[in-house]
Structure 1
């Protein structure tokens, strides 16, 4: 339901605006890659303005995503370490529970000692 609402209220009007922008900006612009000779550039390309804008926006999104991904590498590394620590502790709990279960083969009572992993209260 929420996905349909987002689609109809945000994505459809955004697509209409983008389409209107593309239709309104169809004239050709020359993009030059030669800063030394603006009259007869050695490397230039003529594209519609809306194509240039879309390419620049997509390039900006990709560059921003890569920058954010690189900036978060420390957090990903710490999360991997914590996951490995949690897995090691769970294995240790299982080993200790199996040793404890071998010692106490009596019927389980409410006061029987058992180790268990409890999730933290805050998350």
Structure 2
């Protein structure tokens, strides 16, 4: 699995280097439409290589998707936390009940749990069928 991951990372690096070499031209990135930035004071534009604009846009899109999914699944994480606390409480209660009710045993269960070699009071061993 580590080898496959290494091959994937190497291929991804080759593709990214290829995109960067193919898109080295400078582009002007403006924050506002034409001449609108003058009203706010400043140029509000920057000149960057195209591959850098592509990579930053991709990274910002990934970050936006990550935040979106994290917020969307918040109710699922909250519900899982509540269910986990309830499971822990119920497991503790079951453990407490097992300890509390272990002493007074049912007579039928005590007979079933008793080893076969121990003689039972009031039972004639000679009259019992023999299992072969």
TM-score by length of 2: 0.71
Alpha-carbon deviation of 1:77?
Answer: 1.2
Change (3 A) 1:45 1:111: farther
CA drift at 1:73: 1.2
> Which one has the largest radius of gyration?
2
Q: Deviations over 1:60-99 (max 9, x none)?
A: 0000011011111111111111101100010001110110
2:65 and 2:94 map into 1 onto residues whose CA distance is 43
By how many angstroms is 1:36 displaced? 4.1
Q: Secondary structure at the match of 2:102?
A: helix
1:12 to 7, 10, 13: 10
Structure 2 matches for 1:5-44, cutoff 5 A? 5-8=4-7, 10-37=8-35, 42-44=43-45
Structure 2: which 5+ residue stretches go unaligned?
114-132
Could you list the runs of 4 or more consecutive aligned residues of structure 1 that deviate by over 2 angstroms after TM superposition?
101-104, 108-112
Gaps of 5+ in 1: 113-123
Distance, in Å, in 1 between the alignment partners of 2:2 and 2:72 is 30
Root-mean-square deviation over aligned CA pairs: 2.3
Matching residue of 1:119: none
**Residue 109 of structure 1: CA displacement?**
5.6
- TM-score under structure 1 normalisation? 0.75
Q: How many residues align?
A: 106
